Amino acid sequence: MTDRPARPHLLVTGGAGFIGSAFVREILARRDGSRITVLDKLTYAGNEANLAPVRADPEQAARLTFVRGDIADTGTVEPLVAAADAIVNFAAESHVDRSILDPEAFLRTGVVGVHVLLDALRRETDRVAAGDRAAAPRLVQVSTDEVYGSIDEGRAGESDALAPRSPYAAAKAAGDLLARAYHVTYGSDVVITRGSNTYGPYQHPEKLIPLFVTNAIDDLPLPLYGDGLQRREWLAVNDHALAVEHVLWHGAAGEMYNIPGSAELPNREVVRRLLARLGKPWSLVRSVEDRPGHDRRYAMDGAKLAALGWRPRVPFEAGLAATVDWFVANEAWWRAVRTGAWEGYYERMYDTRLAASREA
């Protein structure tokens, strides 16, 4: 990567999703002249309403271009990559439970889609060699702690073996490995981030925290898998977005960087705290049949990213309180998401489980 251009033009794939849209909002709100093109397929998880704060501000809106399309479509991807100073790939099918119900889309986006992006990047590297372009773009492949599998003890380091245990995690691991292989084989400028469980405003209500907050607002049961003692590290979405940006401009080509959260907690404790913030009773929580192959614990060593000069800023207590309050204040956003196809999904995932549920 050459130096950061004064007014970079970024291609942000998956920029209408939860973390991608936080990245877009964060960067455009700085008003430093950066331009962003979002490429997003708008799957059930993509939502243009996540970019509404940008659209509402004419100065920011003028620096955003939105393209609806698939990262697995070469014809769409190649000209966008050719026009970008850097690419940040957030696009993925991102929910473990859906990958258990139906893995195919995970492979199409996570493997073929990443391959198409990498091939477009390779063309740009070739154009630099031919003197047609000054510097090749860098690609940040946004990955996850789930590629390391369940970590019984200690913390996963970047050079540890990958041991994914769900179709989601396996597709993400394949994307990581492809990205790394393109760096080694073709000299492509690729960096990989592995973020931990992320929470915050605009997160799709299929995930633990927004599902439980929105169900609790409506006094619906909260389906806690198994004993609820699975442990996750929780990372605020703005911290995740800023860490990805830090790696984009400061990471070393071909390297992987863990982005750990600011707190490691069992699910029960997360649920206890969000109910306390809402003032809702524990009796809403129901113990339901566990997720197949449920990873017991994720934990990562963050020394490599810390050495690059990045630290998380948001403590979990403050981040969770702000997130709960955001969902309380933004009912229109999540009620619109919890309609249509949501109902079939919810039934398929939870009806049988809740019918056989126990006190938690």
Which residues are registered as beta bridge partners of 270? none
Rank residues 90 and 148 by Cβ distance to ligand NAD and give the closer one.
Answer: 90
CA distances from 56 to 19, 50, 60, 131, 203 (A): 19, 11, 8, 41, 20
Per DSSP, the three-state class of 18 is helix
Q: In the annotation, is 347 catalytic?
A: no
Q: In the annotation, is 93 catalytic?
A: no
Question: Computed over its alpha carbons, how large is the radius of gyration of the chain?
Answer: 20
- Ramachandran bin of 36, using left for φ above 0, alpha for ψ from -120 to 50, beta for the remaining angles: beta
Mask 308-337, x = binds ligand TYD (CB under 6 A)? ------------------------------
Verify binding: residue 232, ligand TYD, rule CB under 6 A. Answer: yes
Q: In the annotation, is 264 catalytic?
A: no
Please check whether residue 116 is in contact with residue 101, taking contact to mean a CB–CB distance below 8 angstroms.
no
Identify residues 35-54 at the interface with ligand NAD (CB under 6 A). 39-43, 45-46
Per DSSP, the three-state class of 339 is coil
Give backbone dihedrals phi and psi of 332, rounded to 5 degrees, phi first. Answer: -60, -40
Cα(53)–Cα(214) distance, integer angstroms: 22
Shortest approach of ligand TYD to residue 272 CB, angstroms? 13
Per DSSP, the three-state class of 330 is coil
Verify binding: residue 109, ligand NAD, rule CB under 6 A. Answer: yes
Verify binding: residue 256, ligand NAD, rule CB under 6 A. Answer: no
Give, as one character, the DSSP assignment of residue 245: H
Residue whose C-alpha is closest to residue 183's, from 239, 114, 245: 114
Identify residues 336-355 at the interface with ligand NAD (CB under 6 A). none
Q: Which residue has the tokens 């696009």?
A: 91
Work out which of 25, 98, 155, 172 binds ligand NAD, going by CB under 6 A: 172
Work out which of 115, 204, 207, 280 binds ligand TYD, going by CB under 6 A: 207
Please check whether residue 81 is in contact with residue 124, taking contact to mean a CB–CB distance below 8 angstroms.
yes
Mask 290-309, x = binds ligand TYD (CB under 6 A)? -x------------------
Residue whose C-alpha is closest to residue 325's, from 285, 284, 277: 277
Verify binding: residue 210, ligand NAD, rule CB under 6 A. Answer: no
Verify binding: residue 275, ligand TYD, rule CB under 6 A. Answer: no
Q: Which one of the spans 113-121, 128-136, 222-230, 312-320 is the region binding ligand TYD (CB under 6 A)?
A: 222-230
Mask 82-101, x = binds ligand TYD (CB under 6 A)? --------------x-----
Q: Which one of the spans 54-62, 92-100, 300-308, 313-321 is the region binding ligand NAD (CB under 6 A)?
A: 92-100
Task: Spot the catalytic one: 168, 199, 202, 257.
Answer: 168
Shortest approach of ligand NAD to residue 132 CB, angstroms? 27
Verify binding: residue 173, ligand TYD, rule CB under 6 A. Answer: no
Q: Are strands 231-236 and 197-199 parallel, antiparallel or unpaired?
A: parallel
| Residue 195, contacted partner among ligand NAD, ligand TYD, none, CB below 5-8 A by kind | ligand NAD
Shortest approach of ligand TYD to residue 63 CB, angstroms? 32
Query: How many residues does this entry show for the chain?
Result: 360
Residue whose C-alpha is closest to residue 99's, from 111, 82, 81, 88: 111
Which residues are registered as beta bridge partners of 258? 194
234, containing H or E segment: strand 231-236
Work out which of 110, 221, 223, 260 binds ligand TYD, going by CB under 6 A: 223
Token pair of 334 as six digits = 């999540």
Shortest approach of ligand TYD to residue 230 CB, angstroms? 4
142, containing H or E segment: strand 138-144
* Enzyme catalytic residues: 145-146, 168
User: Which residues of the shown chain bind ligand TYD in the complex (CB under 6 A)?
Assistant: 96, 197, 207-208, 211, 223-225, 230, 232, 267, 291
Q: Which residues bind ligand NAD (CB under 6 A)?
A: 13-14, 16-20, 39-43, 45-46, 70-72, 90-94, 109, 113, 142, 144, 172, 195, 197-198, 204
